[in-house]
Structure 1
C-alpha cells in the first residue's frame, strides 16, 4: 500500500507537488503501531504559519519528507485501518495533528479511554499537544459539520483562548483597548469574541479590528468588534489611551506604524502569526512595549500547573460552548477532494485568496 503525500519546498512554499511513499503492510507493523487513513483535514492560514516557522519550532520533523521538502501539519481526522495495539480497534476515528497525506503510521502510547499519543522518536522535540490524538468514534460533537467546524476552529480557538487568558491574567498590561490585526482571520475573531464577552462581566476592554477594505463588511457583521479600522486609516485612531496590540499577520511595516503612532501608549505588542510573511529579520527598536512572541505551549504549561488536571479542558470547553453556536452563521464549510483540488486550495491559502467566511476541509483521496 502507498500513501499520497503533499509536499512543499521548505525554502519556497509556492513550490509544491504530490508524491507516493510506501507504507508497511498491516502484518509488518511493529508492536503498538497503528496505520491510519487520513479521511479529512482543515487548511487555514495557521497552517501557513506552521510552515513559515517550521525550522524554528521543529514542525518539519513531525512528518518526514525528502531532503529539502516538508509536509505541512494539519488538524483533522484519521480512521484506524490496521492496529497492532491491543486496546485500539480497527475502524476507530482519531482527531489530531496529521500530515497533508492519505495515510499515517503512529506508535500508539499512553492509550486511555479518551486518547493516545504518538511516541515516534522523530516527533518528540515538539510540544506534547501536537502528538496527542483524541478518540472520537461515536462522539456527535466530532461528526459531520460539527466535526468540520472543530477541525477548522478548535486549534485556532485554543490559541485565541490562551491569548485572552494571558491578557486578562496580566490585566491587559494596563491597556483599555486591544487591537487585532487580520481581524477577519479565524484566530482573531475567536479572540475578539472572547474579549467582547468580557464586557458582560464588567471588564470594559474595547476590541478594535484592523482589516482590509474588502473584508470590512464581514468583520463588522461578526458583531464582536467595537470598532473596525482599515489598514490605511490606522494612524487616524486616537493615540491618547493605552492599547495592547495582538499581531496576527506578522507585517513588520504595520507593526512599526502602530508603535510609532501610539508610542508609550503601546503597552503590549504580541506576535501571534506570520501569514503576511513580511517580517524583517532585523527590525528597528520601536517605541512602546517591546514586541514579543506569544508561545501557546508556555501558557498551557503554566495553567496546567495552576489549574490542575482537566482545568484547561474544562475552561476551554465552556469557552467553545459559547462560540460554537455562532459558527454556522460565521463560517461556510467548503470541501475539496483530490490532488489538484488540494493543490489549488493550498496555493489560495498561501496567497491569501480564501474568503474569510470560508473554511476549507480537504482530502487527498480522489
Structure 2
C-alpha cells in the first residue's frame, strides 16, 4: 500500500509536488504501531505559519520528507485501518496533528480511554500537544460538521483562549482597548469573541478594505479600522496590541503613533508574512512573541488536573453555536484540489468566511 503525500520546498513555499511512499503492510507493523488513514483535515493561514517557522520550531521534523522538502502539519481526523496495539481497535477515529497525506504510521504510547500519543523518536522535540491524539469514535461533538469546525478552529481557539487569559491575568497592562491585526483571521475573531465579554474592554479590529463587512458582521469588535486609517486612531489612552498579521511596517506605524501608550505588543501570528528580520527599536512596550505552551504550563500547575481542559471546554461550548453563522465549510478532495487550496491559502485568496476541509484521497 502507498501513501500519497503533498510536500513543499521548505525555502520556496510556492513550489510543491505530490509523491507516493510505500507503507508497511499490516503484518509488518512494529509492536504497538497503528496504520491510520487520514480521512480529512483543515487548512488555514495558521498552517502556513507552521511552514514559515518550520525550521525554528521543528515542525518539519514531525512528518519527514525528502531533502529540502517539508510536509506541512495539519489538524484533522484519521481512521485506524491496522493496529498492533492491544487496546486500540481497527475502525477507531483519531483527532490530532497529521501530515498532508493519505496515511500515517503512529507508534502508539500512553494509551488511555480518551487518547494516545505518538512516541516516534523524530516527533519528540516539540510541544507534547502536537503528538497527542484524541480517541473520538462515537463522540457527536467530533462528528460531521461539528468535527469540521473543531479541525478548523480548535487549535486556533486554544491560542485565542490563552492570549485572552494572559492579558486578563495581567489586567491588560493598564489598557482598556485591545487592538487586533488581521481581524478577519480565525485566531483573531476567536480572541475578539472572548475579549468582547470582558467588562470595560474595547476590542478594535484592523483589517483590509475587502474584509470590513465580514469583520463587522461577526459582532465581536467594537470598532473596525482599515490598515490605511490606523494613524487616525486616538492615541491619548493606553492600548494593548495583539499582532496576528506579522507585518513589520504596520507594527512600526502603530508603535510610532501610540508611543508610550503602547503598553503591550504581543506577536502571535504571521498571516501577512511581512516581517523584517532586523526591526528598529520602537517606542512603547517591546514587541514580544506570545508562547502558548508557557501559559498552558503555568495554568496547568495553578488550576490543577483537568483545569485547563474544563475552562477551555466551557469557552468552546459558547463559541461553537456561533460558527455556522460565521463560517462556510468548503470541502475539496484529491491532490489537484489540495494543491489549489494550498496556493490559495498561501496567497491569502481564501475569503475569511470560508473554512477549507481537505482530503488527498479522491
- CA–CA distance in 2 between the matches of 1:271 and 1:16? 28
- Deviation of 1:276 after TM superposition, in Å, equals 1.1
TM-score by length of 2: 1.00
- CA–CA distance in 2 between the matches of 1:71 and 1:50? 10
- CA–CA distance in 2 between the matches of 1:297 and 1:315? 16
- Partner SS, residue 301 of structure 1: helix
Equivalent residue number for residue 191 of structure 1: 191
- Deviation of 1:329 after TM superposition, in Å, equals 0.2
1:251-305 C-alpha deviation (Å, 9 max, x unpaired) = 0000000000000000000000112111000100000000000011111111111
Equivalent residue number for residue 170 of structure 1: 170
1:230 and 2:226 matched: yes
1:277 and 2:273 matched: yes
- CA–CA distance in 2 between the matches of 1:98 and 1:166? 29
Equivalent residue number for residue 158 of structure 1: 158
Equivalent residue number for residue 116 of structure 1: 116
- Partner SS, residue 235 of structure 2: coil
Equivalent residue number for residue 361 of structure 2: 365
Check conservation: 2:182, 2:271, Cα contact below 8 A: no
- Pick from 235, 249, 256: which aligns with 2:245? 249
- Pick from 205, 210, 214: which aligns with 2:206? 210
- Pick from 257, 260, 285: which aligns with 2:256? 260
Check conservation: 2:183, 2:207, Cα contact below 8 A: yes
- Which 5+ residue runs of structure 1 have no aligned equivalent? none
1:96 and 2:96 matched: yes
- Deviation of 1:35 after TM superposition, in Å, equals 0.3
Equivalent residue number for residue 106 of structure 2: 106
1:137 and 2:133 matched: no
RMSD, matched Cα: 0.4
1:178-211 C-alpha deviation (Å, 9 max, x unpaired) = 000000000000000000011xxxx301000000
TM-score by length of 1: 0.99
- Pick from 272, 288, 308: which aligns with 1:292? 288
- CA–CA distance in 2 between the matches of 1:248 and 1:277? 10
* Matched ranges for 1:296-315 at <5 A: 296-315=292-311
- Partner SS, residue 167 of structure 1: helix
* Matched ranges for 1:325-344 at <5 A: 325-344=321-340
- Partner SS, residue 197 of structure 2: helix
User: Which structure 1 residue ranges, 4+ long, deviate > 4 Å from structure 2?
Assistant: none
1:21-57 C-alpha deviation (Å, 9 max, x unpaired) = 1101110000000000000000000000000000000
- Which 5+ residue runs of structure 2 have no aligned equivalent? none
- CA–CA distance in 2 between the matches of 1:292 and 1:223? 29
